[in-house]
Amino acid sequence: MSTDDSRRHYIDGEWTTGTGDETFTSQNPATGEALASFHRGTEDDVDRALAAAEDAYDEWRSLSHIDRAEYLWDIYHELRDRHEELGEIVTMECGKEISEGLADVTESWHMVEWAAGNARHPHGDVVPSEIASKDAYMRRKPKGVVGCITPWNFPVAIPFWHLAVTLVEGNTVVWKPAEQTPWCAHIIAEMFEDSGIPDGVFNLVQGYGDAGNAIVEDDRVETVLFTGSAEVGHKIASKVGGEPGKIAACEMGGKNAVVITEEADLDIAVHSAVMSSFKTTGQRCVSSERLIVHEDLYDEFKERFVDIASDIAVGDPLEEDTFMGPLIEDDQVEKFKRYNDLAREEGANVLVDRADLGAEEIPEGHEEGHWVGPFVYEIDYDEDLRCINEEVFGPHVALLKYSGDFDRALEMHNSVDYGLAGAIISEDYRQINQFRDEAEIGLAYGNLPCIGAEVHLPFGGVKKSGNGLPSGREVIEAVTERTAWTLNNSKDIEMAQGLSADIITDE
Ligand code: UN1
């Protein structure tokens, strides 16, 4: 593909090749074929985009929330109109099966709907003052220029988690999407162009970590929104943490678990575990790589789970009868296999190993895809085992047996450094409520898979998983400043806390 065909960045309302001379291609993980070519952004491109975002800020923030939201409503309609087209592109570019590709787009317009709808909702609180003649209330103001860095696994939904609220609240944006899914990003930029949003309010720089880093390090950026790996997120958080006034809202991975107690309904348990572990081929940050199962129903659960894992339909993600598409790239296949080997070294009894699929299992014409099937094992619990502490991001699943009461399951559940998502399967409301209250996670589910959050709930984790801000509804906290505003309606000055307002002089 020649440079001329390569798609461009969208900076200051224009499509530009940028200053670099490198291009990169996006690949279909199911076939290995190149989908499209893109200009690779440089620090200079980021610099231009940030300058444009800074210039556009005053005018953009001077509009009302409702006027700003009008541009987002146009995008909402375009997302709906292009649902099938964009859902297929999601599937082609990141390999999730087609119902997931379509759901990604649906989730994105839900986020836009929430953000644009919120423009007409009350923002803040009227607060009583100790002094009757004072009015006090909380107002939100935009931060300024916001940098967004998004992952490949939800290439449309997560960008809108970042962008929609950020823009409606009056910030301007420079966005660097994952290098694996630039085509989805390109279409999103087309939608912003179609909406007629003022130049410089929304800027897209395609590229790799160096471009992302240029966003993170620039003084003009007030807030960095990052969703992606813990490795990168922690670097960003520690860089930004040293700068007063600047914040990094980071949403990272998990080593999530489904806890199946002796009071579980086994049908719900098996169904939830399969969904949690194998949807998106285990590549959600909320996917479950640990199944903590009570000894009373361990054997039956194991048999049923293993049966399904042995047969789960791995195949062409564009086909509706596929459950699991490929992994995103070769590096991910290698990582998955490395962790499977590690589990063996740490003493795993392997129950299903479809890491190397047989030729007959790989769909025709897809030989170059990044194919793997489930890897399921049981292992004697030891809280220090690396295979049950480190996130793999693939269909690598440990069955962990526990005995005794529910406290033991909770202890095992909470023993990891991460704290994103988890589920309890039980018919006992006391166990369910204890899990709700004591599981160290941001997204907790009862009798459900631990995936599939809706956008109007806060989405985020605790501990090593992040500060829970760049996503869903709570992004508003990261992209606005709150002002406590107090107005005196009297001619006299009267202070709270009984503080004297008398001015005393020696005269
Ligand atoms: C992710 O796991 O990377 O809760 C995002 C879910 C989706 C978002 C997942 N709404 O499963």
**At what angle are helices 182-195 and 157-168 packed, to 10 degrees?**
30
Rounded CA-CA distance 356/375 in Å is: 10
Q: Is 184 within a domain?
A: yes
421 Cβ below 6 A of ligand 1: no
Q: What is the CATH number of the domain that holds 437?
A: 3.40.309.10
pLDDT per residue as tens digits for the range 476-493: 999 999 999 999 999 999
How far does residue 453's CA lie from ligand 1's centre (Å)? 6
Structure tokens that stand for 216 in this block: 């993170």
Q: Is 122 within a domain?
A: yes
Q: At CA 371, angle to CA 365 and CA 376, rounded to 5?
A: 150
How far does residue 113's CA lie from ligand 1's centre (Å)? 18
Q: Is 505 within a domain?
A: no
450 Cβ below 6 A of ligand 1: no
Could you list the active site residues?
251, 285
391 Cβ below 6 A of ligand 1: no
Which domain, by its residues, includes 181? 16-252+466-485
Q: Is the pLDDT of residue 1 over 70?
A: no
Structure tokens that stand for 351 in this block: 């129950």
Q: Is the pLDDT of residue 382 over 70?
A: yes
**DSSP secondary structure, 106-148, as one string:** HHHHHHHHHHHHHTTS--S-EE--SSTTEEEEEEEEE-SEEEE
pLDDT per residue as tens digits for the range 230-250: 889 999 998 998 888 888 999
pLDDT per residue as tens digits for the range 297-348: 999 999 999 999 999 999 999 999 999 999 999 999 999 999 999 999 999 9
Supply the pLDDT for residue 55: 98
Q: What is the CATH number of the domain that holds 134?
A: 3.40.605.10
Closest CA to 138 of 152, 128, 148: 128
104 Cβ below 6 A of ligand 1: no
* Same domain for 220 and 102: yes
Closest ligand 1 atom, CA of 286? 2
* Same domain for 54 and 137: yes
Mean pLDDT, residues 46-60 taken together: 98
Q: Is 8 within a domain?
A: no
* Same domain for 339 and 206: no
* Same domain for 297 and 242: no
In the sheet that 288-294 helps form, which strands lie side by side, from edge to edge?
Answer: 349-353, 375-378, 396-402, 288-294, 256-260, 421-425, 443-446
| The total number of structural domains that make up the chain | 2
Q: Which residue has the tokens 């899914």?
A: 181
How far is the CA of 312 from the CAs of 239, 278, 354, in angstroms? 43, 9, 10
Closest ligand 1 atom, CA of 153? 3
Q: Is 87 within a domain?
A: yes
Mutate to test the pocket of ligand 1, among 90, 459, 465, 475 (most ligand atoms within 8 A of CB): 459
With 0-12 / 13-18 / 19 or more C-beta atoms within 10 angstroms meaning exposed / middle / buried, residue 152 is buried
* Same domain for 388 and 272: yes
